[in-house]
């Protein structure tokens, strides 16, 4: 509770109240009927309960002490013994604590009598408190032999309960002062009540008119405020008790014996209780009702204000058959739906809004009870561009009186702005897609979120291959991927360059040169959300720029001179300056022909054309352009330069010949280089010729010698064999070895001669080749036969793997057998004992294949290229002193080549060699 009014207010009230407890208690004990054991009314109880219910709980110890003391003192003053007084005072305090406790709200403050519920609480608290004093007080009286227990308890109960019920309400209604009545009515009512009460209780009589005051209290309850009612009940109770105690009124003269005293007390208390129990709840019910009505009318006013003033259009709709009719509309709805002077009220809803069938359908579904409410967007019939958001809901049910409400929100502006936004977006899209430059939008992680059409066209990647991918997944060249990724990795897009030129990778792999411009799209907080990159294809410009640079450079080595119609130099470029070794000022105005060698000019021009510029201009083809030709120019320093020069006439369709343009390129070094090159080539050609001649002479010589040598050696060998076999004379056994040596060496000489002659024949085309169908399988059989004597005394495995079918080729059987025999004899010769030699012949892909493989000494890798040259012998063969001339393989290669075939070798030193020959098959 608040201690409003200062620190002294509560102590003051409490002190006064405790004093009242003492005085009222003393008075009550004093007035206790001589025959009775307890007072017949105990108003001090009402005051004690009020004190404890009203004061904060922290005050209770002090106040309870005060109540005990005041009651004790009152009982003593009233003439009771100390023990009885003490016992009663404790019982009084206990009663006050129980009732006081029950009358407190949870926050410790006294309950106010606002509702009937609170009255119930009051009655409960009064009864509980009275019960406590009845039980304790009864015991005190009984124990002290002052009277019977139950009768005392009953008397205590009524006297205390009635006191609490009329005194505490005054405190509980202290702030409830709102009555309906005017001031004068207060006056009249109070005066009437006072008059009637006094009229009942002042005279001594036995008329049963005590209840006559009740209608007046009911009047108060109906019209006056609760506090006045509570005060009136208290006042009339006090008057009744005092006058009855003084032996007046209807109950005062009942008698002095105990029974009649008790009866008159009971009757007075009954009167008091009746007044309290009738008037208090009545006034509370009335007050509550008045308050509820106020709230109701307030909320109705609020609703009405809401309805009329709402910015949302509101309609009240009533059912008419299966349709809804507008019965009320607020201002917004009128503004929205009235058509000219015609109000919306009284019209069917489906006649006001578009899509009438939908509206009717919804109405019927709602009327059937299948739908509580409906929302949708509709138009207004008389305003074609309008759009309203409509919500219809049922307010009250009932078949015929069903009432509905419709809320309408004008969303036309929203709708229009949406349409405008969409149109703008379409325009933007169209702009983006028709733009001729690459436009890419990425999020801040570099993921592509939007590309325009031109991006796909220029890069060759369809849109869906780019969207959702990191920027560097496709179009960034591999070398720039890392750099690009880092740019996006930096916070807030700080590293993204505003503009930059770089390459772009297209789907076809061709690079594009693109000038990028990057902007960041930021949110309202300024943090970047997207990066928008536009790229212009500058490939052609850059290529063009390169060309221009070349052109300028060319300007340095190419001399360009503008000559006027008189042959004077008027303008020249830096190329001309450097070629002629002087500045343009020095040359300006000089005759161009002075630059040329006069002798050469004379030689090349017609005499009839005269001399000087005129002669030169006459060489122009059709007067406009000369042929490109080398001229000798003389520099200012007197040096002669060879210049590839052309002259063209510079006129236009609008005027005569205005001048000439001479374009010259210094080709002195180039021409000198060309001359030197030609001389060198000529020298080389002469040397080659000489070599060829020498080679031919050598071949001639070798053939002649071989030829001349073969005949005498053949006869030497022949005669030696005759001497050895004893066909002429018996051979001396001692001479036999010598004869065999002569014959063997002679045979080697013949073989050498044959080889040399064969080679010479192949080289100079002197060999006459036979061209017949030769079966290589047959040849291989023959070769195998010829080989046999060679391997007779050798420990070699010689294998022939030949096909079942013949292998026909077109050629010279003798020469081809030579090839096989040569390869086989080499294999046998270069394979040490316990090795093997295998020959394979087969046909594949239209060719005959022959391989001769051995497990012999092999040929060093670096020497294999020279293998088929004349007189070549491998270093290993020489080191091992294996005899040979080095002619066999070159003859073999010559024969194979003449047959349109191919020969090759695969050899590993120390492991063996495989010679392979391929010859075209003969197809019959």
Interface residue list for ligand ADP (CB under 6 A) = 826-827, 830, 854, 856-859, 867, 872-874, 877, 884-890, 913
Residue 612 or 860 having the CB closest to ligand ADP: 860
Compute the least distance from the CB of residue 822 to ligand ADP, in Å. Answer: 6
Which one, of 511, 525, 521, lies nearest residue 441 by Cα? 521
Residue 367 or 827 having the CB closest to ligand ADP: 827
Q: Which residue has the tokens 């997944």?
A: 473
Residue 527 or 908 having the CB closest to ligand ADP: 908
Q: CA–CA distance from 886 to each of 4, 13, 758, 858, 877 (Å)?
A: 142, 151, 14, 15, 10
Exposure string for 715-737, b = 16+ CB within 10 A, e = fewer: ebbeebbebbeeeeeeeeeeeee
Compute the least distance from the CB of residue 889 to ligand ADP, in Å. Answer: 3
Compute the least distance from the CB of residue 888 to ligand ADP, in Å. Answer: 3
CB 563, CB 572: distance < 8 Å: no
Residue 769's region, left for phi above 0, alpha for psi from -120 to 50, else beta, is: beta
Compute the least distance from the CB of residue 853 to ligand ADP, in Å. Answer: 9
CB 570, CB 671: distance < 8 Å: no
Q: CA–CA distance from 404 to each of 331, 344, 394, 906 (Å)?
A: 18, 15, 4, 107
Residue 752 or 813 having the CB closest to ligand ADP: 752
Compute the least distance from the CB of residue 914 to ligand ADP, in Å. Answer: 9
Residue 590 or 829 having the CB closest to ligand ADP: 829
Residue 844 or 881 having the CB closest to ligand ADP: 881
Burial class of residue 326 (count of CB atoms within 10 Å of its CB; 0-12, 13-18, 19+): buried
3-state helix, strand, coil in the chain (%, to 5): 55, 20, 25
Burial class of residue 31 (count of CB atoms within 10 Å of its CB; 0-12, 13-18, 19+): middle
Residue 152 or 890 having the CB closest to ligand ADP: 890
Helices 116-143 & 82-102, crossing angle to 10 degrees?
160
Tokens in use for 3? Answer: 């201690």
- DSSP assignment of 184-245: HHHHHHHHHHHHHHHHHHSSB---S-GGGGHHHHHHHHHHS-HHHHHHHHHHHHHHHHHHHH
Residue 280 or 893 having the CB closest to ligand ADP: 893
Compute the least distance from the CB of residue 726 to ligand ADP, in Å. Answer: 33
Compute the least distance from the CB of residue 838 to ligand ADP, in Å. Answer: 12
Residue 544 or 910 having the CB closest to ligand ADP: 910
Compute the least distance from the CB of residue 738 to ligand ADP, in Å. Answer: 26
Minimal CB distance residue for ligand ADP: 884
Compute the least distance from the CB of residue 884 to ligand ADP, in Å. Answer: 2
Residues near 251 by beta carbon (within 8 Å), at least 6 away in sequence: 210, 244, 263, 264, 267, 268
Q: Which residue has the tokens 């085309």?
A: 765
Compute the least distance from the CB of residue 826 to ligand ADP, in Å. Answer: 3
Residue 649 or 888 having the CB closest to ligand ADP: 888
Residues near 433 by beta carbon (within 8 Å), at least 6 away in sequence: 452, 453, 454
CA 261 from chain centre, in angstroms, equals: 98
Tokens in use for 924? Answer: 């019959």
- Backbone torsions φ then ψ of 336, nearest 5 degrees: -80, -40
Residue 113 or 819 having the CB closest to ligand ADP: 819
* C-alpha torsion angle, residues 149, 155, 157, 162 (rounded to 10): -170
Compute the least distance from the CB of residue 781 to ligand ADP, in Å. Answer: 21
């Amino acid at each position: 509770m608040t201690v409003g009014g200062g620190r002294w207010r509560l102590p003051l009230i409490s002190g006064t109240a405790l004093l009242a407890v003492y005085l009222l208690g003393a008075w009550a004990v004093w007035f206790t009927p001589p025959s009775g054991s307890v007072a017949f009314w105990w108003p001090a109880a009402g005051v004690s309960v009020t004190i404890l219910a009203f004061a904060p709980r922290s005050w209770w110890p002090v106040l309870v002490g005060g109540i005990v003391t005041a009651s004790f003192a009152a009982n003593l003053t009233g003439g009771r013994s100390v023990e009885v007084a003490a016992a009663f005072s404790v019982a009084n305090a206990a009663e006050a604590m129980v009732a006081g406790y029950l009358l407190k709200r949870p926050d410790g403050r006294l309950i106010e009598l606002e509702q009937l519920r609170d009255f119930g609480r009051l009655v409960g608290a009064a009864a509980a408190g009275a019960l406590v004093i009845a039980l304790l007080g009864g015991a005190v009286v009984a124990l002290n032999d002052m009277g019977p227990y139950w009768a005392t308890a009953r008397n205590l109960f009524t006297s205390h309960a009635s006191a609490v019920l009329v005194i505490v309400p005054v405190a509980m209604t202290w702030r409830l002062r709102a009555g309906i009545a005017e001031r004068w009515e207060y006056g009249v009512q109070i005066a009437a009540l006072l008059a009637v009460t006094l009229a009942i209780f002042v005279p001594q009589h036995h008329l049963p008119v005590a209840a006559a005051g009740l209608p007046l209290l009911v009047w108060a309850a109906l019209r006056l405020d609760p506090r006045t009612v509570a005060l009136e009940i208290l006042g009339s109770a006090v008057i009744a008790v005092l006058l009855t105690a003084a032996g007046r009124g209807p109950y005062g003269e009942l008698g002095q014996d105990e029974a009649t005293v008790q009866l008159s007390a009971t009757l007075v208390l009954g009167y008091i209780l009746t007044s309290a129990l009738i008037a208090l709840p009545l006034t509370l019910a009335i007050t509550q009702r008045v308050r509820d009505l106020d709230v109701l009318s307030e909320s109705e006013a609020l609703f009405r204000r809401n309805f009329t003033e709402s910015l949302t259009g509101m309609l009240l709709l009533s059912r008419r058959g299966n349709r809804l009719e507008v019965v009320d509309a607020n201002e917004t709805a009128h503004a929205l739906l009235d058509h000219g002077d015609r109000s919306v009220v009284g019209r069917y809803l489906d006649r006001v809004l578009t899509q009438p069938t939908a509206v009717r359908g919804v109405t019927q579904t709602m009327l059937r009870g299948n739908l509580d409410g409906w929302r949708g967007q509709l138009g207004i019939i008389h305003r074609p561009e309008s759009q309203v958001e409509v919500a219809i809901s049922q307010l009250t049910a009932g078949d015929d009186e069903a009432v509905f409400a419709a809320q309408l929100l004008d969303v036309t502006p929203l709708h229009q702005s949406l349409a405008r936004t969409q149109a703008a977006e379409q325009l933007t899209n169209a702009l983006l897609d028709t733009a001729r430059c690459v436009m890419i939008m990425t999020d801040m992680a570099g993921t592509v979120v939007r590309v325009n059409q031109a991006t796909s066209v220029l890069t060759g990647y369809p849109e869906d291959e780019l969207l959702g991918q990191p920027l560097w997944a496709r179009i960034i060249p591999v070398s720039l991927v890392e750099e690009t990724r880092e740019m996006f990795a930096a916070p807030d897009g700080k590293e993204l360059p505003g503009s930059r030129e770089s390459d772009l990778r297209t789907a076809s792999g061709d690079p594009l040169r693109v000038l990028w411009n990057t902007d960041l799209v930021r949110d309202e907080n300024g943090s970047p959300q997207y990066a928008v990159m536009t790229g212009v294809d500058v490939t052609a410009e850059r290529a063009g720029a390169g060309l221009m640079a070349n052109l300028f450079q060319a300007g340095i080595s190419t001399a360009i001179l503008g000559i006027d119609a008189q042959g004077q130099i008027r303008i020249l470029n830096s190329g001309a300056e450097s070629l002629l070794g002087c500045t343009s000022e020095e040359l300006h105005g000089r005759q161009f022909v002075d630059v040329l060698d006069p002798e050469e000019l004379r030689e090349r021009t017609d005499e009839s054309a005269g001399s000087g510029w005129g002669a030169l201009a006459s060489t122009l083809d059709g007067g406009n352009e000369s042929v490109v030709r080398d001229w000798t120019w003389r520099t200012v320093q007197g040096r002669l330069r060879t210049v590839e020069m052309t002259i063209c006439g510079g006129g236009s369709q609008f005027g005569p010949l205005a001048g000439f343009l001479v374009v010259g390129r210094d080709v002195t070094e180039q021409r000198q280089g060309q001359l030197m090159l030609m001389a060198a080539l000529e020298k080389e050609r002469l040397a080659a010729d000489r070599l060829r001649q020498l080679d031919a002479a050598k071949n001639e010589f070798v053939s002649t010698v071989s030829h001349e040598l073969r005949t005498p050696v053949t006869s030497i060998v022949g005669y030696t064999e005759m001497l050895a076999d004893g066909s002429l004379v018996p051979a001396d056994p001692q001479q036999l070895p010598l004869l065999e040596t002569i014959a063997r060496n002679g045979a080697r000489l013949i073989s050498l001669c044959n080889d040399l002659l064969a080679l010479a024949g192949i080289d100079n085309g002197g060999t006459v080749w036979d061209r017949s169908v030769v079966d290589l399988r047959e040849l291989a059989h023959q070769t195998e036969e010829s080989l046999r004597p060679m391997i007779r005394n050798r420990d070699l495995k010689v294998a022939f793997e030949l096909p079942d079918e013949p292998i026909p080729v077109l050629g010279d059987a003798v020469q081809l057998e030579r090839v096989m025999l040569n390869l086989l004899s080499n294999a046998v010769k270069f394979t040490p004992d316990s090795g093997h030699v295998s020959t394979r012949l087969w046909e594949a892909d239209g060719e005959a294949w022959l391989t001769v493989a051995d497990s012999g000494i092999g040929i060093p890798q670096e020497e294999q290229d020279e293998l088929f040259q004349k007189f070549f012998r491998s270093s290993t063969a020489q080191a091992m002193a294996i005899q040979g001339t080095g002619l066999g393989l070159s003859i073999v290669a010559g024969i194979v080549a003449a047959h349109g075939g191919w020969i090759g070798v695969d050899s590993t030193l120390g492991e063996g060699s495989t010679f392979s020959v391929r010859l075209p098959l003969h197809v019959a």
